[in-house]
Amino acid sequence: MKLASLKSGRDGRLVVVSNDLAWCTDAAPVAATLQAALDNWDELGPALQALADSLEHGGMPRERFHEHDAMSPLPRAYQWADGSAYVNHVALVRKARAADMPESFWTDPLMYQGGSDGFLGPRDPIPLADEAWGCDLEAEVAVIVGDVPQGASREVGLAAVRLVMLVNDVSLRNLIPGELAKSFGFFQSKPASAFSPVAVTPDALGAAWKDGKLHGAMEVELNGKEFGRADAGVDMTFDFGILIAHAAKTRALSAGTIIGSGTVSNRDAGGGPGKPVDQGGLGYSCIAEVRTVETLLAGEAKTPFLRHGDTVRIEMRDARRHSIFGAIEQTVAVTGK
Amino acid sequence: MKLASLKSGRDGRLVVVSNDLAWCTDAAPVAATLQAALDNWDELGPALQALADSLEHGGMPRERFHEHDAMSPLPRAYQWADGSAYVNHVALVRKARAADMPESFWTDPLMYQGGSDGFLGPRDPIPLADEAWGCDLEAEVAVIVGDVPQGASREVGLAAVRLVMLVNDVSLRNLIPGELAKSFGFFQSKPASAFSPVAVTPDALGAAWKDGKLHGAMEVELNGKEFGRADAGVDMTFDFGILIAHAAKTRALSAGTIIGSGTVSNRDAGGGPGKPVDQGGLGYSCIAEVRTVETLLAGEAKTPFLRHGDTVRIEMRDARRHSIFGAIEQTVAVTGK
């Protein structure tokens, strides 16, 4: 089953979307919003699935689905907790600034509490008041969970996964060092993220959802040029079950909580830093990583962070090259400030 | 105007509460939940105020208001961002562990992103799976804001304050050093917080709301014994306008965002660390601070962190000793784990 929230008010209007993303049907008879569906999933999930089955078989009134009409599936959420499960990415970034990485990073997940009061739509501009803040994209996978009890195991966590999405976790790189030095974590350096137009249930992903990971190439384009295609199922040190259990260690998680994977990153086949796509590599899922590789190889970073007018596209396709979640496509824009 | 959310489902049932906290009336004709009211405050705020006026003048059907029937005013929220505005507290804690405090802490607010997907009710137990985690209370002030544009000034931030509350920001002290060492901020060390039974509009606070600060003694009891009575309006280095502007520097804040003050803390009159209440001092708003003072004076901390069965009470009274927000009163309980 695929779900989307069409633009309407603060929480959108929930629709069920066909597997090929061509059609949708109003979910209002079941739930007006995605959060309302998640709040009562045991009852409403099957009813939404019945709508999806009817839509797939042409038994429902339907309308064309246009990705640019979609908000993020949860236009605002009660929790957005983002992990950093591709430890290769962390190791590379640390290596570039000659900082040691504690051995525990390979066994104890990193996770930060993100802002969730208002997400960007998948085709909304990225508002950036000041280019000097060093705006970066981060292509990630995220799941929406149901209620998770405190102290949940990996298995309980995995069973609570309701929907899977892609994310552009926008980061302001040049604000990060100052915030981390204050030791309270990210705040100003993590403005609103954007999620894929469509959220997909694990069962509808087939073989692409396995072992608590989403498998497939994270296709990232920067200004229309191929920038990354790392496989989200590879080099993910902590699967979503482990990330959810980590988040639930000292407190319950409420339905509608979003858990992120952190920036997707694959090790280079030769063991060195990853190569750009045009040199036969898998490229990158964020600019910070290519800058890191440039620093390691040439002594300095040359790829600039995002500037006003730059466009980012993030998408994942199935074996037949059909888009699974729809595309996040955003242009960096000046804000009113 | 005073508002509360009586226990009902995930979001409670909004009621308007009389100034003396004795009575309440159903707000459903205006808004079913506090979040719904905040989403459309320009229209619904005045309608709620009209209900409050009628309640005060006996012109409404009314029921007794019982604080123990209340959830936190926002039982779950889209954002909980907690500052650390009483820099004296930070300076003391750092002094005790012989860590330098950067001079910038006096001019650049500390703020962390807290979990907001499910708050404890003001009379709910504090679930604590493991006493070794070092459970602490933190008595704080918090405000709920309306929509705040990115880049808002202090004045715009202050004008967006809709409601004021008290908070018990539960902290797991012994998990903090490990999390801060990972540099991603608090996560497992900050389980669910609890807010006062009643949220109050700034105008209803009269002289107690001035210069973007709540003025009055934060009365904290531990196991029925007076523990703290620091004045929330004193030694607050950053007022709520500054905290809101800090939070909004790189992104807009959505209606229903909660901004916290951090643990209330007053300097000792003599310039030294604060004395306990039974020694004529103003006491403390968290256990970490008394442990810090004990460490500075006697070389080691002797007050233990919270154990199962311990009870915490947080309240503020007006000049006639009437409770303004109702009381947070929580007992630490074992969880199912």
Q: What is the pLDDT of residues A145-191, one digit of tens each?
A: 999 999 999 999 999 999 999 999 999 999 999 998 888 899 999 99
Q: Across the A/B interface, how many CB contacts are shorter than 8 Å?
A: 145
User: Would you state the pLDDT for residue A336?
Assistant: 40
Question: Average of pLDDT values for A75-87?
Answer: 97
Contact B184 A84 (CB under 8 A): yes
Contact B112 A254 (CB under 8 A): no
Contacts of B180 in chain A (CB under 8 A): 183
Question: Which residue of B187, B250, B252 is in closest CB contact with A133?
Answer: B250
User: Would you state the pLDDT for residue A10?
Assistant: 98
A129 DSSP assignment: S
User: Would you state the pLDDT for residue B321?
Assistant: 95
Least trusted range by pLDDT, from A14-18, A287-291, B95-99: B95-99
Question: Which residue of A114, A182, A250 is in closest CB contact with B172?
Answer: A250
Least trusted range by pLDDT, from B40-54, B67-81, B86-100, B260-274: B86-100
Chain CA centroid to CA B288, Å: 17
Contact B10 A254 (CB under 8 A): yes
Please report which confidence band the pLDDT of residue B336 belongs to, taking 50, 70 and 90 as the band edges: very low
Residue B297 has pLDDT above 90, yes or no: no
Residue A297 has pLDDT above 90, yes or no: no
A48, A1 contact by CB (below 8 A): yes
User: Would you state the pLDDT for residue B11?
Assistant: 98
Contact B184 A184 (CB under 8 A): no
A259 vs chain B: nearest CA distance in angstroms? 12
Select the residue from A250, A254, A263 to test the B interface by mutation, using most B Cβ atoms within 10 A.
A250
Contact A185 B184 (CB under 8 A): yes
B116 vs chain A: nearest CA distance in angstroms? 6
Residues in chain B: 337
Contact A113 B186 (CB under 8 A): yes
Residue B140's closest CA among B204, B70, B236, B67?
A: B236
A158 vs chain B: nearest CA distance in angstroms? 18
Residue B306's closest CA among B144, B142, B124, B171?
A: B171
Residue of B nearest to A180 (CA): B183
Question: Average of pLDDT values for B199-205?
Answer: 98
Residue of B nearest to A90 (CA): B182
User: Would you state the pLDDT for residue A93?
Assistant: 75
Contacts of B148 in chain A (CB under 8 A): none
Residue A337 has pLDDT above 70, yes or no: no
State the sign of the Cα–Cα–Cα–Cα dihedral A273, A279, A284, A286: positive
Question: Which residue of B77, B110, B336 is in closest CB contact with A184?
Answer: B110
Question: Average of pLDDT values for B48-62?
Answer: 94
Question: Which residue of B78, B127, B151 is in closest CB contact with A76?
Answer: B78
Q: What is the pLDDT of residues B232-290, one digit of tens each?
A: 999 999 999 999 999 999 999 999 999 999 999 998 877 677 889 999 999 999 999 99
Residue of A nearest to B246 (CA): A188
- Calculate the average pLDDT of chain A: 95
Select the residue from A71, A117, A242 to test the B interface by mutation, using most B Cβ atoms within 10 A.
A117
User: Would you state the pLDDT for residue A103?
Assistant: 85
Contact B246 A188 (CB under 8 A): yes
Dist CA B328 CA B330 (whole Å): 7
Contact A185 B252 (CB under 8 A): no
Please report which confidence band the pLDDT of residue B333 belongs to, taking 50, 70 and 90 as the band edges: very high
Question: Average of pLDDT values for A246-264?
Answer: 97
Contact B251 A192 (CB under 8 A): yes
A171, A138 contact by CB (below 8 A): yes
Contact A117 B254 (CB under 8 A): yes
A188 vs chain B: nearest CA distance in angstroms? 6
A16, A47 contact by CB (below 8 A): no
Contact B250 A113 (CB under 8 A): no
Contact B113 A249 (CB under 8 A): no
User: Would you state the pLDDT for residue B236?
Assistant: 97
Contacts of B187 in chain A (CB under 8 A): 81, 111-113, 247
Please report which confidence band the pLDDT of residue B84 belongs to, taking 50, 70 and 90 as the band edges: very high
Select the residue from B174, B251, B257 to test the A interface by mutation, using most A Cβ atoms within 10 A.
B251
Residue of B nearest to A258 (CA): B117
Contact A337 B186 (CB under 8 A): no
User: Would you state the pLDDT for residue B337?
Assistant: 37
Contact B115 A113 (CB under 8 A): yes
Residue of A nearest to B258 (CA): A117
The dihedrals phi and psi of B161, each to the nearest 5 degrees, come to -70, 120
Percent of chain A clearing pLDDT 90 (strictly above): 85
Beta bridge partners of B70: B6
Contact B188 A246 (CB under 8 A): yes
Contact B187 A111 (CB under 8 A): yes
Q: Both ends of chain A: CA-CA distance in Å?
A: 41
Question: Average of pLDDT values for B92-115?
Answer: 87
Question: Average of pLDDT values for A98-112?
Answer: 89
User: Would you state the pLDDT for residue A317?
Assistant: 98
